[in-house]
Amino acid sequence: MKKILIEGGARLFGEVHISGAKNSVLPLIAATLLTEGVSAIDESPWLSDVDCMCRVLNHLGAATHFERGTLSIDTTRIVGCEPPGELVRKMRASFLVMGPLLARTGRVCMSLPGGCAIGARPIDLHLKGFEAMGAKIDIGHGFIEAKAPRLFGSRIYLDFPSVGATENLMMAASLAEGHTVIENAALEPEIIDLSNLLSAMGAKIKGAGTNTIRIEGVSSLSPARHTVIPDRIEAGSFLVMAAATGGELIVNNVISEHLQPVTAKLQESGVFLEVGYDSIHILGNEELRPLDIKTLPYPGFPTDMQAQFMALLTVARGCSVVTETVFENRFMHAGELQKMNADIRIDGNTARINGVSHLQAATVAATDLRAGAAMVIAAQMARGTSVITEIQHIERGYENFCQKLEKIGTRIKVLDI
């Protein structure tokens, strides 16, 4: 089991290059199943989640090859429609193959994606959408079978603007017969990235990035080449890290517009930011002001940045309030931060954080991916050397994290024991 050791107290300094977005590349990989031939995804990060998604596609008959940031996927030969249970249960995003596989092969049978540490995470919105498009869905013994010799365009209203459901339905609708309208669709930048790839493949999509997406189904799509957008959550994590250590960092390869909810909160906390088009310069401040944060679907404050900000606010001058509205159980990191002397009280979906003078090093766990980033931030603020366990969660979503951290001054060691 690998662990990370971090000696606190170092100010971060220098430049960091942000990788392609994990949450974009996973649906992009799934989308290649809609075509026959070789698609290429440039600036793809190499992460354990990307490896897992590639293995799902390999199992279905696709060939994948990763070289120097380009992921090539040959989907000429798709021989299966049953993604392997052990991979689907491991990574919820593998459920994104359901829409494209159903559209291409007419049948999919897969495990129910497991609930995870941050909540139940049902898939009802995906399934209702497929049913509206004419699929017959059977659920039993932990498996879902969806059948549709042909999918038909439909008007679909999502009760919640689910990112995954919007993506799955956009992919299925691209090859359905007729016109699909997805209402109350998610607005996340990753939706626009997927729409851009699908359009490059020949799909007819209008309105991605607004809450009404219109798709005119086509009879076939062609392989395409596409560059993934930069990872706004990785960028946000490094910005918080600079703020937490009173450091100075230039965060390169970002789309600043995607980071507005994050940069607005950092400015409110008192740090100095110079926001360019594709890079952000941050200068930390010794005294951080407390914040009120409420997570919301995009363009609201991202739930994927909640844990990192909670770590930062443990040493702000005063009481902060963090409200989580997207997931029902996303405060696991609060318990770990308390082990480091943080003063946090949880009441339902609200956390009250009273800033303390300093955090104390401890052994803490990366309870999920973003909680792992929060532990790295807290460890850098703490007095002494902290040990972070369960770092496989961090490896799911941060490319070359330890190398990037070391380069900007984090005193970090990885132990593989």
**Binding positions for ligand UD1, 215-274, rule CB under 6 A:** none
Q: Which residue is nearest to ligand UD1 (CB)?
A: 164
Say which of 54, 116, 319, 402 is annotated catalytic. Answer: 116
- Give min distance, CB of 215 to ligand UD1, in A: 18
Please report how close the Cβ of residue 136 comes to ligand UD1 at its closest, in angstroms.
Answer: 18
CB of 187 to ligand UD1, least distance (A): 10
Least CB distance to ligand UD1 at residue 190 (A): 6
Do the Cβ atoms of 246 and 11 come closer than 8 Å? yes
Q: Which is nearer to ligand UD1, 92 or 339 (CB)?
A: 92
Residue linked to tokens 């390869």: 253
Residue with Cβ nearer ligand UD1 (30 or 316): 30
DSSP alpha helix (H) spans, 226-341: 232-245, 260-268, 306-313, 332-339
Q: Contacting ligand UD1 (CB under 6 A), which of 14, 77, 114, 119?
A: 119
Q: Does 132 bind ligand UD1 (CB under 6 A)?
A: no
Residue of 26, 148, 239, 316 that binds ligand UD1 (CB under 6 A)? 26
Which amino acid is present at 362? A
- Return the DSSP state at 160: S
**54 catalytically annotated:** no
* 64-93: contacts with ligand UD1 (CB under 6 A): 92-93
The one segment of 116-124, 221-229, 247-255, 274-282 that binds ligand UD1 by CB under 6 A: 116-124
Residue from the set 327, 331, 398, 401 that interacts with ligand UD1 by CB under 6 A: 327
Residue 77's CB is within 10 A of a number of other CB atoms, namely: 10
Pairing of strands 272-275, 279-283: antiparallel
- The rounded radius of gyration (Å) of the Cα atoms in the chain is 21
Residues in the chain, overall count = 417
Which residues contact residue 262 at a Cβ distance below 8 angstroms, ignoring those fewer than 6 apart? 232, 236, 239, 240, 301, 302, 305
Q: What are phi and psi of 244, to 5 degrees?
A: -70, -30
SS3 83: coil
Comparing CB distances to ligand UD1, the nearer of 15 and 138 is 138
Residue 295 main-chain phi, psi, to 5 deg: -75, 145
Number of H helices, E strands in the chain: 14, 23
Q: Considering all CA atoms of the chain, what is the largest pairwise distance in Å, rounded to the nearest integer?
A: 63
**Cα separation, 333 vs 90, whole angstroms:** 20
Answer yes or no whether residue 135 interacts with ligand UD1 by CB under 6 A: no
| Backbone angles phi and psi of 399, in degrees to 5 | -75, 135
Q: Percent helix, strand and coil across the chain, each rounded to 5?
A: 35, 30, 35
Letters for 291-310 (x = contact with ligand UD1 by CB under 6 A, - = none) are: ------------xx------
Which residues within the stretch 188-217 sit at the binding site for ligand UD1 (CB under 6 A)? 190
Distance CA 286, CA 380 (A): 14
**Residue of 121, 147, 294, 339 that binds ligand UD1 (CB under 6 A):** 121
Which of 86, 142, 155, 160 binds ligand UD1 (CB under 6 A)? It is 160
Is there binding between residue 138 and ligand UD1 (CB under 6 A)?
no
Question: According to CB under 6 A, which one of 125, 291, 344, 366 is a site residue for ligand UD1?
Answer: 125
**Which two structure tokens, joined as six digits, stand for 270?**
């008192």
Contact window for ligand UD1 (CB under 6 A) among 82-90, 120-128, 355-363, 384-392:
120-128
Determine if 368 is a binding residue for ligand UD1 (CB under 6 A).
Answer: no
Residues that bind ligand UD1 (CB under 6 A): 23, 26, 92-93, 119, 121-126, 160, 162-165, 190, 303-304, 326-327
Residues annotated as catalytic (active site), given as ranges: 116
